[in-house]
Amino acid sequence: MSAHTDTMLYLDGVSVAFDGFKAINNLAIIVKPAEMLAIIGPNGAGKTTMMDIITGKTRPDAGQVLFDGRTDLTRLDEAAIANLGIGRKFQKPAVFESHTVWDNLEMALKKPRGIFSTLFYTASDDDVARITEILETVRLIARKDEFAANLSHGQKQWLEIGMLLAQDPKLLLVDEPVAGMTDSETEETAKLLREISKTRSVVVVEHDMSFVRDLGSRVVCLAEGSVLAEGSLDQVSANPVVIERYLGR
Amino acid sequence: MLTQALFRALDKKAIWVIAIFLAVAVLVPMANLLIPPGQFGHVPTYLVSLMGKYLAYAILALALDLVWGYCGILSLGHGAFFALGGYAMGMYLMRQIGTRGVYGHPVLPDFMVFLNYSELPWFWLGMDNFWFAMLMVVFVPGLLAFVFGFFAFRSRVTGVYLSIITQAMTFALLLAFFRNDMGFGGNNGLTDFKDILGVSVQAQSTRATLFAATAIALALSVLVCSMIVNSKLGKVMVAVRDAESRTRFLGYRVEYVKLFAFTVSAIMAGIAGALYVPQVGIINPSEFDPANSIEVVIWTAVGGRGTLIGPIIGAIVVNLGKSWFTTTLPELWLFALGALFVFTTLFLPKGIVGLWHQARDRMRRRTEPEERPEPPTPAQSADIERGEDPASFGHEAQPKPAE
Ligand SMILES: Nc1ncnc2c1ncn2[C@@H]1O[C@H](COP(=O)(O)OP(=O)(O)OP(=O)(O)O)[C@@H](O)[C@H]1O
Ligand SMILES: [Mg+2]
């Protein structure tokens, strides 16, 4: 019980198979409090599946998944895990298209999630200020009353990042956040994530190497469901196996 | 807290709808009772009851829309909740007959005497008390919906699978209520009502009062639905409709959101049934017919789901059509209904209300070029089964079908 006391996320010996195909194979990953971890790896390496396991969407066949050093996530469902303080941004932007940008954030805002507290919820001045602040951070303030369906791909990504911020989680799982963003937007995103990781743990999955370099964090390279290499980006990208299996392609 | 919720409910268009039905609740009975027959403006009593029936259907359609249009649960069994509310009212009315039945038994209704019952079955006890019966009108459908929904939503039964089990539920009740030994009058159901609250059900003033009660109940239903859909919970319901799985990752308990909507909706349907029965004078097992529940879906689709006024318009318009057809071309009604549904699905995905919005937007676009885009409403056909918008979400956010 000592290995995982000071961790925000602790995965050990995790495996999951889909119809006999091992998508995750004896995976071990540790994320410390207020630490950022970038995960790279070829398509089909199991990066998204790993997030599915952490957030309760997929049950692992074996292994340990602990949050905050003590909570066993494999026993909980999606809503319970989200309420523990784990927020997720999906690979394909998943915002609520028939709601306005504002309403998307209001629903995400960290507030009691019970039926009756939701039914009788009225935004307090603090809530309005917080949502406005997030809208400014993700640069959607001018579009707050528009339906999320009308946003561009990159703006949907930003909105989803905004929803993550609104949830105020302890651990953020961010799957390919900069797909569809311009170079300057990508830089902004890296800056924002670096800022967030000062106080929270962040796991970022991304294929964009210059973005990963901007993050300046520890890097793990996954392949075929397990860790191929780990270290700084320079160490990992100098690793001959990583070059052969991922970067060299 | 409650006042803010009420305030939210009353803004926007809902206040108009509520005002209109409250006005109707006063004006129609006045036109019936105060203006003498033959004079301009008189509404004949049969028409008052017919309109009362339509308004009861409108409440039922609104109830269905709350779960289907706003929460993506396509219930094909809402007729069951309506019928249960109707039976509770029917039982009260039966017990008011007293010795005036054919057999003149002071306690037992005629059909029980005929079937050699020696005493009232336990579930008939207390039904002679109006308030107890009214409690059952909301309690029985509410409890059934709660228990049914609890198991269905907890096991994540969604889409077509859920629709099928709601059909099975109403079909099972249909078969059960057909049986004589169930104690609900078998296939004849409950009828020959005499009094309600001490006055004759047939009396002109009673019929006018029942109409007014139905119109007021409809106005209150609109108020309650408006309160729900304009709240944050209403937004979460729409989120569940469009992307159930994504909503879970935000920490909302989707199963409870659905359970809430389903139970409230079933209670509304039960009240509609209770108002319907004294106005038509009979309740029998055919009300549980699965086809009835499907008809409610058609009314809602035709009027425009996901709006508060749509299902009300749909229920009234389609039933006006039905009344016309069944008197002039009865054998063609089902074909007309089917054609109407196909036509709406293909050409009017947002129903009559959507047509109105389109026309209004075209008018506005002519006057002012910059126009805010319409809210995207999920297309009607393919996603009906899934309750979500396939265009907007990748496979990651798709709910899994039933295990
Ligand atoms: N629910 C599922 N059923 C069957 N196979 C699955 C399922 N989810 C993932 N897989 C398979 O598991 C493997 C890992 O997929 P995953 O989406 O985790 O990869 P990834 O690393 O996120 O790739 P990408 O970089 O393309 O996003 C893939 O081969 C995928 O086809
Ligand atoms: Mg992926």
B249 close to A (CB below 8 A): yes
- Residue B377: which pLDDT band, with cuts at 50, 70 and 90? very low
Taking the CA of residue A45 as reference, the ligand 1 atom at the shortest distance is: 21
ipTM of the complex: 0.94
A179 close to B (CB below 8 A): no
The per-residue pLDDT of chain B, averaged, comes to 90
The predicted-structure confidence for A83-93, as pLDDT tens digits, reads as follows 999 999 999 88
pLDDT of residue B391 exceeding 50: no
In 3-state terms, what secondary structure has residue A65?
A: strand
CB contact under 8 A, B376 and A97: yes
Contacts of residue B30, Cβ cutoff 8 Å, sequence gap at least 6? none
B3 close to A (CB below 8 A): no
CB contact under 8 A, B389 and A98: yes
Q: Taking CB atoms and an 8 Å cut-off, how many pairs form between chains A and B?
A: 107
pLDDT of residue B397 exceeding 60: no
Rg (C-alpha) for chain A, rounded Å, is 18
Residue B140's pLDDT is what? 98
Closest residue on chain A to B230 (Cα): A119
Residue spans of the domains in chain B: they are 2-365
CB B185 within 8 A of CB B86: no
B243: left (phi over 0), alpha (psi -120 to 50) or beta: beta
Query: How many residues belong to chain A?
Result: 249
| CA–CA distance, B74 with B297 (Å, rounded to integer) | 8
Q: Mean pLDDT throughout A147-159? A: 94
A225: left (phi over 0), alpha (psi -120 to 50) or beta: left
pLDDT of residue B46 exceeding 60: yes
Cα of B398 from ligand 1 centre, angstroms: 15
Q: How close, in Å, is residue A89 to chain B by CA atoms?
A: 9
Task: Tell me the torsion sign for CA atoms B99, B104, B108, B111.
Answer: negative
Q: Mean pLDDT throughout B341-352? A: 91
- Contacts B254 to A, Cβ<8 Å: 79
Return the residue matching tokens 């879970």.
B248
pLDDT of residue A249 exceeding 80: no
**Percent of chain B whose pLDDT exceeds 70:** 90
- Residue B368: which pLDDT band, with cuts at 50, 70 and 90? low
pLDDT of residue B284 exceeding 50: yes
Nearest to A94 among B2, B243, B252 (CB): B243
pLDDT of residue A228 exceeding 90: yes
The predicted-structure confidence for A30-61, as pLDDT tens digits, reads as follows 999 999 999 999 999 999 999 999 999 999 99
Cα of A55 from ligand 2 centre, angstroms: 14
- Residue B11: which pLDDT band, with cuts at 50, 70 and 90? low
Give the global pTM: 0.92
Residue A5's pLDDT is what? 73
Residue spans of the domains in chain A: they are 2-247
CB contact under 8 A, A150 and B373: yes
User: Token pair of B234, please?
Assistant: 């209403």
Q: Mean pLDDT throughout A207-220? A: 95
Contacts of residue B113, Cβ cutoff 8 Å, sequence gap at least 6? B101, B103, B105
**Ligand located closest to A90 CA:** 2
Task: Return the closest-CA partner of residue A151 out of A96, A189, A206, A211.
Answer: A96
Taking the CA of residue A51 as reference, the ligand 1 atom at the shortest distance is: 18
**Ligand located closest to A222 CA:** 1
Cα of B395 from ligand 1 centre, angstroms: 11
Cα of A44 from ligand 1 centre, angstroms: 5
Query: In what helix (H) or strand (E) does residue B224 lie, and over which residues does it extend?
Result: helix B204-229
Task: Return the closest-CA partner of residue B134 out of B193, B85, B194.
Answer: B85
Higher pLDDT, B61 or A244: B61
DSSP result, A183-229: HHHHHHHHHHHHHHTTTSEEEEE-S-HHHHHHHT-EEEEEETTEEEE
Instruction: State in words which class domain A2-247 has.
Output: alpha beta
The predicted-structure confidence for B217-250, as pLDDT tens digits, reads as follows 999 999 999 999 999 999 999 999 999 999 999 9
* Burial bucket for residue A144 (CB in 10 Å: 0-12, 13-18, 19+): middle
- Residue B69: which pLDDT band, with cuts at 50, 70 and 90? very high
pLDDT of residue B389 exceeding 80: no
| CA–CA distance, B175 with B243 (Å, rounded to integer) | 36
pLDDT of residue B50 exceeding 60: yes
CB B278 within 8 A of CB B199: no
Q: What angle do CA A195, A196, A197 make, to 5 degrees?
A: 90
B343: left (phi over 0), alpha (psi -120 to 50) or beta: alpha
B394 close to A (CB below 8 A): yes
CA dihedral B320, B324, B325, B329 (to 10 degrees): 180
Least confident of A239-248, B193-202, B390-399: B390-399
The predicted-structure confidence for A171-188, as pLDDT tens digits, reads as follows 999 999 998 889 999 999
Site to probe by mutation for ligand 1, drawn from A11, A24, A47 as the one with most ligand atoms within 8 Å of Cβ, is A47
Residue B396's pLDDT is what? 34
The predicted-structure confidence for B135-171, as pLDDT tens digits, reads as follows 999 999 999 999 999 999 999 999 999 999 999 999 9
Pocket of ligand 1 (CB under 6 A): A 18, 23, 41, 43-49, 91
| CA–CA distance, A137 with A133 (Å, rounded to integer) | 6
The predicted-structure confidence for B255-281, as pLDDT tens digits, reads as follows 999 999 999 999 999 999 999 999 999
